[in-house]
Every structure is written in structure tokens, then in C-alpha cells.
């Protein structure tokens, strides 16, 4: 209980930083806002008249309001049951463009 062999959070319950099973409502709202912000930046760059390959690729991506909820909050994963996993389980998921998934999934 006390001393050198007291229980620590890691030894008592395993890994301390656990990933929740599903996205919470506020995290979903932040994800939608993040997608809208990126759409706004892409539109602003398009209106400025700049032309580049990355802008062409970004314009081909679906906008937030065109995406189904399944694509906003989950990504394709060939190892998962149902071939989908929560977007929050992808490392650095807030910095990646995860708007496209294989057809049929």
C-alpha cells in the first residue's frame, strides 16, 4: 500500500492514456469545424488565383457538407471488423487529410 511497492496508476489498471471507444459529441463537433476550416482555406487560396498541383488535389476532395457521417468520423482499415475504425484511433488524425476512402467501404 505504502512505500516502495505501492500501486501506481499504470500497474493498477494498465496503460494510463486510454483511447475512448467512440468519439464524444464535442470531439465530433470539433472535427466538423476542422473540416469546414480547411474547406474555407482551400476556397480562399482558389479565389486568390494561385495555381499549383496541391491546390488541384485539394479541390478534388469532397467538402464537409458533401461527406456522409461515416466518412467524417471513421476511416477504412482492412484489419478491422467491418473494415472501418474510428478516426480518433489514427495517429496524428487532426493533421492528416482523411476525406477519401475506397469505393464501397
Nearest of 100, 50, 41, 56 to residue 75 by alpha carbon: 100
Beta bridge partners of 7: none
At 91 the pLDDT is 94
Q: What is the pTM of this model?
A: 0.81
Measured in residues, the chain has a length of 105
Q: What is the mean pLDDT of each run of 10 residues along the chain (105 residues)?
A: 65 72 95 97 96 96 96 95 94 93 89
Q: Phi/psi of residue 74, each to 5°? A: -135, 160
Amino acid at each position: 500500500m505504502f512505500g516502495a511497492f505501492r500501486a501506481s496508476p499504470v500497474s493498477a489498471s494498465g496503460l494510463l492514456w486510454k483511447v475512448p471507444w467512440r468519439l464524444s459529441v464535442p470531439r465530433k463537433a470539433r472535427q466538423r469545424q476542422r473540416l469546414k476550416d480547411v474547406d474555407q482555406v482551400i476556397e480562399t487560396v482558389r479565389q486568390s488565383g494561385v495555381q499549383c498541383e496541391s491546390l488541384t488535389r485539394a479541390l478534388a476532395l469532397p467538402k464537409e457538407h458533401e461527406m456522409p457521417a461515416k466518412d467524417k468520423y471513421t476511416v477504412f482499415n482492412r484489419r478491422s471488423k467491418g473494415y472501418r475504425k474510428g478516426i480518433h484511433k489514427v495517429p496524428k488524425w487532426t493533421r492528416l487529410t482523411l476525406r477519401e476512402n475506397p469505393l464501397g467501404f
